[in-house]
Structure 1
Amino acid sequence: MLTNDTQELVFQSVRKTATAIEAEKPDLHDVLTSFVGLFEAFETIEAQSAPWDMSGLEMDKNQFVQGKSLLEMLPLTDFASRVPQVSEVMFPVLAKSFSTLGPVVDIMQDKEFVASEDGLYASMCHVLEGDEQALEATAREKGVTPYGFAFVLAQLVAPLLRSQSKALAAHFDLSGWTQGYCPVCGSMPSVAYLAGEGGKRWLHCSTCGHDWRFRRQICPACGDNAAKGLEYFYVDDRLHERAYVCHTCKKYLLTIDIREMAAKPNMNIAPIGLIPLDIKAQQEGYEPLTALPWNSFE
């Protein structure tokens, strides 16, 4: 849930931010093109989907302020009826944006697999449950690589998580949260941004896209409280783009200072524009808070 500090912010569309990044960093064209289509597809599904039913859902505020995320207390609302719509939108986008996944998508979009109760829906549930053994078994049965199978499934689950995340954040009081992981789904942030008077720090969830406030001098990964604040570095005199590093856990978090920007970047695609910082941070011996498809270089 965003407070008044951020309600006035109007973030750009995914494509507009990607275009601005590419104008300054043309070498990122290919990776930007792939993920623009992906994030736009997420937004398409959200816009076309019926509202989630929040009736009857209750959260334990005491457990919440102690660090238990909403989706640890409240399971994702049953989404079986939404699987055909999600797969219809996502399969063509995945095949086009990630050409190496074409054979995997061809097999997974088999009508019988999509419609079967123990097919696509069950596999998406395995992703949410973190059941790697079940995923690997199904991948072998379908004759596809476990990595490709899991990646495609994660992209099918993502728009559902993102849309319900917004519904949950609007429905519940999320004040009192002090953790460096997402109050809605429990994932780590993909990027942070500084906004408002004094440069308040907001973290952007790598999984569901929720934004939450977090103190600037604390490492989101290990909770280390640096007396003088976390150290950071930047590249090519781009001071507004920074990698904050923690000497305790050796993790880093990419951060954009948006206070003086005329147009606020879309935070889903913005981290891709910071790949040069990912490279530098990892060369210096630090690891990202969250391993993402575009910041894993091995």
Structure 2
Amino acid sequence: MGQIEAVKKMWQRTLEKNKQYKPVMKVHVELVEMLEMHTPSHLPQLSFTETELAGKLGQGIPFLEGKEKEIDLTSAAPLFVALTKWSGLGKAKSAFKSTVKHLSEQDIRDLLRGWLKGDEAQVTHFASRHQLPIDVLHIVLRYSLLPTLQQYGQQLFDSGLFDEEFWMKPYCPVCGDRQGLAEFRGDERFRHFRCLSCAADWKYWRIGCPYCDNRNHEQLSSWFIQEETGHYQLDVCERCHGYVKGINKIERSSLPFLIFDDFITMSLDLFAQEKGYHPYGTTQQLIQ
């Protein structure tokens, strides 16, 4: 069974339990179809010697940091264009569709490259010049690069040089982004953090705040939430008022189901924010 068909079957089972998710299903399935259509068939290997890569990881430097100019954007640029027509953009869709008509492929590549480099001024200027909501632009850029960065990340994990027991950091070993959610697999003493920018998977302490490095169990709490769609967990920190949303999994979610997990747990984001806790990011504002 293909990934898209598996996603649709998952949504059918979800809707049998709660039909309120139907608008979310449309947005998610449409997104997965776009991502699959623009997944690179092949990407060139980044130039690293084993010594260089081992040294970089040993210093806690993400795999792609400093290699932004080498990243192949052949698939990411057309995906950016496709995403400007995505129903998940809500009210912002017309502004994105209008903007892309005036952009060359080089304009789009420059913007994507700026996002990769963390050039916030460039991205903010682009949003202001084209009157685009900056938060939605961030999501479009992230999804535009997601299939490409996932494949580059696989180069790291295939190298055999990544030691997940050594990394144990609050940011992604591939692209440097913060975690988007955590997966709890069995009785492990770790959480598996998942990156929503490149789909990477790495271990982090089960008890500990990834935002302020708080390890004081008296200032850390876990809320266990059971809903029709699954068993979830919110880990909250009273020092910085950050939170991490988590989901119980038997095994690692593939990319389409990682996004599904993010979408299906939007209620956890709302709940945590209503209680005064702050997220790293959420897709909730896209679905209106």
Give the TM bin, normalised by the shorter chain. Answer: 0.7 to 0.9
Q: For 1:86-125, list aligned pairs within 5 A.
A: 86-97=76-87, 98-110=89-101, 113-115=103-105, 117=106, 119-125=107-113
Q: Which amino acid aligns with 1:135?
A: V
CA contact (8 A) 1:250 1:286 kept: yes
Aligned to 2:169: 179
Q: Which amino acid aligns with 2:110?
A: A
Q: Which of 248, 259, 276 is the aligned partner of 1:257?
A: 248
CA contact (8 A) 2:90 2:286 kept: no
Q: Which of 160, 163, 171 is the aligned partner of 2:151?
A: 163
Q: Residue 253 of structure 1: CA displacement?
A: 0.9
Aligned to 2:25: 32
Q: Residue 195 of structure 1: CA displacement?
A: 1.1
Q: How many residues align?
A: 276
Q: Which amino acid aligns with 1:220?
A: P
1:225–1:17 CA distance, 2 compared to 1 (3 A): farther
1:232–1:52 CA distance, 2 compared to 1 (3 A): same
Aligned to 2:132: 145
Aligned to 1:53: 45
Q: For 1:1-298, list aligned pairs within 5 A.
A: 13-46=6-39, 48-56=40-48, 59-75=52-68, 77-80=70-73, 82=74, 85-97=75-87, 98-110=89-101, 113-115=103-105, 117=106, 119-139=107-127, 141=129, 143-145=130-132, 147=134, 149-175=137-163, 176-198=166-188, 200-227=190-217, 230-236=220-226, 240-259=231-250, 266-288=257-279, 290-294=280-284
Q: Residue 107 of structure 1: CA displacement?
A: 3.5
Root-mean-square deviation over aligned CA pairs: 3.4
- For structure 1, the residue ranges without an aligned partner over 5 or more in a row are 1-9
Q: More displaced, 221-230 or 158-167?
A: 221-230
Q: Which amino acid aligns with 1:221?
A: Y
For residues 151 and 295 of structure 1, the distance between their equivalents in structure 2, rounded to whole angstroms, comes to: 10
Q: Residue 177 of structure 1: CA displacement?
A: 0.3
Q: Which amino acid aligns with 1:193?
A: E
1:42–1:128 CA distance, 2 compared to 1 (3 A): same
Instruction: Describe the SS at the equivalent of 1:280.
Output: helix
For residues 231 and 57 of structure 2, the distance between their equivalents in structure 1, rounded to whole angstroms, comes to: 33
Instruction: Describe the SS at the equivalent of 2:167.
Output: coil
Q: Residue 292 of structure 1: CA displacement?
A: 1.9
Identity among equivalent pairs (%): 22
Q: Which amino acid aligns with 1:202?
A: H
Q: Which has the higher relative contact order, 1 or 2, with Cα contacts under 8 A spaced 6 or more apart? A: 1
Q: Which amino acid aligns with 1:284?
A: K
Q: Which amino acid aligns with 2:98?
A: I
Cα deviation digits, residues 65-98 of structure 1 (max 9, x gap): 3422112254363325x0xx44444534541423
For residues 240 and 132 of structure 1, the distance between their equivalents in structure 2, rounded to whole angstroms, comes to: 36
Aligned to 1:4: none
CA contact (8 A) 1:71 1:185 kept: yes
Instruction: Describe the SS at the equivalent of 1:240.
Output: strand
CA contact (8 A) 1:224 1:248 kept: yes
CA contact (8 A) 2:83 2:140 kept: no
Instruction: Describe the SS at the equivalent of 1:158.
Output: helix
- For structure 2, the residue ranges without an aligned partner over 5 or more in a row are none
How high is the TM-score relative to the length of structure 2? 0.79
Instruction: Describe the SS at the equivalent of 2:222.
Output: strand
